[in-house]
Amino acid sequence: MAEYYLGFYRLLNEHVVQILLYVGREPLRMPVVFETPTMRHEYVVLNLREMHGEALLASDDWADNEWALLTKTDPERVIRVVLEKLNRLDGEEKKDAAATFLLLGGILGVEEDLRKRIDNPMIDIMQNKVFGPMIREQLATAHQEGHQKGHQEAVRVLSRRLIEKRFGPLPVWAQARLSDASPETLTDWTLALDEAESLEAVFRS
């Protein structure tokens, strides 16, 4: 950083403020000061891993959205936002966006998982304009008739299938929660799929 500073100073003949943006996977160990008995050079370090990514996710630029993967923001939420954005792109721009996202994922060691999800995008059936309302209507009907065992089991099976559609195979603890839940609770959990960012968030609703 001291060498860069001197190079800029010779080039511009004026002081420059240096800001280092760190995006590494490991904790930052680089000191912010270089000091010898006769010299001291200091610069600013911004550790992206310690920053919130909400502003990046709110941007209309897909590149900003992708950089949020390296922040403190829930990575699953970032992936969902980026995959949705990728689905709206086409041609070379889509290829560039996908390649960049895989590159950023490589910093965290999740590029293979991202590659699979990009190649096989998950369909959120609750967001479908046709099936979403139909499923909600069926859930409401099952809820009203929930005192009958057959309907209770129908709600339970439908809830599990929709949750697995969103988050994949359920861990043991989630299966146990589903087995013990009432029809009313199952309905609440299933409807929560619209906005839930993680499996845990569904069961907190």
The predicted model gives 178-185 an average pLDDT of 83
Report the SS3 class of residue 168. coil
Q: Name the pLDDT band for 191 (thresholds 50, 70, 90).
A: confident
Give the mean pLDDT of 191-201: 80
Domain residue ranges of the chain, discontinuous segments joined by + = 2-49, 57-122, 126-204
**Mean per-residue pLDDT, 102-123:** 80
First to last CA, the chain: 49
- 148 or 113, which is more confident: 113
130-144, 167-181, 191-205 — which one is most confidently predicted on average?
167-181
Q: What is the pLDDT of residue 68?
A: 92
**DSSP codes, 8-29:** HHHHHSS----EEEE--SSPP-
Task: Identify the pLDDT of residue 149.
Answer: 55
What torsion, rounded to 10 degrees, do the Cα atoms 171, 173, 174, 175 define? 80
- pLDDT reading at 83 higher than 50: yes
Quote the pLDDT of residue 147: 47
pTM reported for the whole predicted model: 0.51
Nearest to 191 by CA among 129, 132, 121: 132
